[in-house]
Amino acid sequence: MITISIENNSQQPIYIQIYEYIKREILSGQLQAPAKLPSTRSLAAHLEVSRTTVETAYEQLVAEGYVEAKEKRGYFVIPITHLQQFHSNTTSTVTVPAPPIPEQARLFDFNPDMIDTEHFPYSIWKSLSKTQINSADNFVAGEHFGDYRLRQAIARYLRGSRGVQCSPEYVVVGAGLDHLLQMLCLVFERRTPVAMEDPGYPSARQVLLANGYDVIDIPLHNYSFDTQALARSDADICYVTPSHQFPLGFVMPVSRRQELLRWADEKAGRYIIEDDHDSEFRYKGRPIPSLHSLDTKNKVIYIGTFSKAVSPAIRTSYMVLPETLFSQYKNLCGGFSCPVPRFIQSLLTDFIDGGYFEKHLNRMRKIYKGKHDFMLQKIKEYFPEERAEISGDHAGLYIIFHYKGALSEQEIAIRAKKAGILLHPLRNYYASLPVDYKPAYLLGFANLNTDMIAQGIRRLSEQVFV
């Protein structure tokens, strides 16, 4: 039995205290694989806390890959070798469902790339813009890697919420993943192929190919990144989405992360590009610490974006370069101008520094969780288990709907069109489709209100996935 001194008056929720304790035990080697954790029932009784509290703690450990849940047998510690120290100081997320928003629904686009534009704090944005729109400073060319004030704000945010320890010096502001990846393409050795997950982000693939790189697709069999396949390949650069795999939606477990870091460490010039595209939105447990926070060898290039948290139309993203790569980058690309207009940079900085960004994130997390939960509930309501399965839930702005019925994808496409529904097949994100591929669809919920979700899922059930 594990004895944890629970502090009831602590600022930390009890489930986090339990989670932190067990994680420390695993990291320090006190708890080793294949140790079995006490059952949730017995630990709850032992600590005199509710069983849900223990379950929440265990689920976070599972999500981060420290522990695995075996059906009907319990929770087991996963073997972890060559462990490095976490230095995450992430904050917990509060989850309250959002009130349903009534609105007339017409065409349903379950677009996974859309965001909610209804709940943006326009009045704050407008009032902040009033001082910046008039400032002559915003009409003078700025720093090439982005304005220092913005880079400071980003570094602070990353330290606080993503466990990314970095100096503002190494933050480079760019115009979206496309742009930053294209800049990185100038720095890497062009003869080196780049590995990426399959399925993965089609734009990233297109940028790499357009820049003359060979792309090695690493298949994600059983929702697991094949580091062996990576090691066998010629790739020295690897592009991954560890905190929320795009598009499959799973979390790369800590053991796999360690393998990836070890792979990078085996050879000079090897780098991992971590695309942390939507880590702001996690609806269960604590945020997953970044891969960057595990990296002690300067091997991870961290890329983040304001596309999901503010707007894709603001075209502002950033990367944190390892010191080793930074001087190379500076030599090659130091003369290029930062593509983000200074007005936008200044406005965004004021938005972050004024605390509005954090407030907005917390609010949107609740709203998105409300929509997410509602969509799951509706799917459960309209689809019997034998007709559909869900994956990639509890994070991001879409879920994956796996169709288990008899219709072919062509038949589904025809029916969806007739029903006025835009579907986004998982198939489109694959470079090579696995032989056992089954029809699956990304269902975005961010841009839909509950009425639309309810109607949309009903239409899916009655007219499409029959």
> Which residues in this chain contact a second copy in the complex, by CB under 8 A?
113-115, 117-118, 120, 122, 125-126, 129-130, 133-134, 136, 138-142, 175-176, 178-179, 182, 186, 190, 202-203, 206-207, 210-212, 311-316, 332-333, 335-344
Taking the complex as a whole, how short is the minimal distance between the CB of residue 117 and a second copy, in angstroms? 4
Residue placing its CB nearer to a second copy in the complex, 329 or 465: 329
Taking the complex as a whole, how short is the minimal distance between the CB of residue 123 and a second copy, in angstroms? 8
Residue placing its CB nearer to a second copy in the complex, 91 or 134: 134
Residue placing its CB nearer to a second copy in the complex, 73 or 130: 130
Residue placing its CB nearer to a second copy in the complex, 286 or 315: 315
Taking the complex as a whole, how short is the minimal distance between the CB of residue 115 and a second copy, in angstroms? 7
Write the single-letter amino acid at 175.
Answer: A
Taking the complex as a whole, how short is the minimal distance between the CB of residue 376 and a second copy, in angstroms? 25
Taking the complex as a whole, how short is the minimal distance between the CB of residue 133 and a second copy, in angstroms? 5
Residue placing its CB nearer to a second copy in the complex, 294 or 301: 301
Residue 239 pairs in a beta bridge with 196, 273
Can you give the C-alpha Rg of the chain in angstroms?
Answer: 23
How many alpha carbons lie under 13 Å from residue 171 in its C-beta half-sphere?
Answer: 25
Residue placing its CB nearer to a second copy in the complex, 66 or 239: 239
**CA-CA distances (angstroms) from residue 401 to 151, 310, 365, 404?**
38, 26, 21, 9
How many alpha carbons lie under 13 Å from residue 25 in its C-beta half-sphere?
Answer: 21
Taking the complex as a whole, how short is the minimal distance between the CB of residue 124 and a second copy, in angstroms? 11
Residue placing its CB nearer to a second copy in the complex, 74 or 339: 339
Q: How far apart are the C-alpha atoms of 412 and 236, rounded to whole Å?
A: 40
Q: How far apart are the C-alpha atoms of 323 and 328, rounded to whole Å?
A: 9
* Peptide bond just before 112 cis, omega within 30 deg: no
Taking the complex as a whole, how short is the minimal distance between the CB of residue 401 and a second copy, in angstroms? 23
**CA-CA distances (angstroms) from residue 168 to 16, 153, 304?**
30, 8, 14
Q: How far apart are the C-alpha atoms of 50 and 342, rounded to whole Å?
A: 51
Handedness of CA 344, 349, 354, 357 (dihedral sign): positive
Helix H or strand E segment including 239: strand 237-240
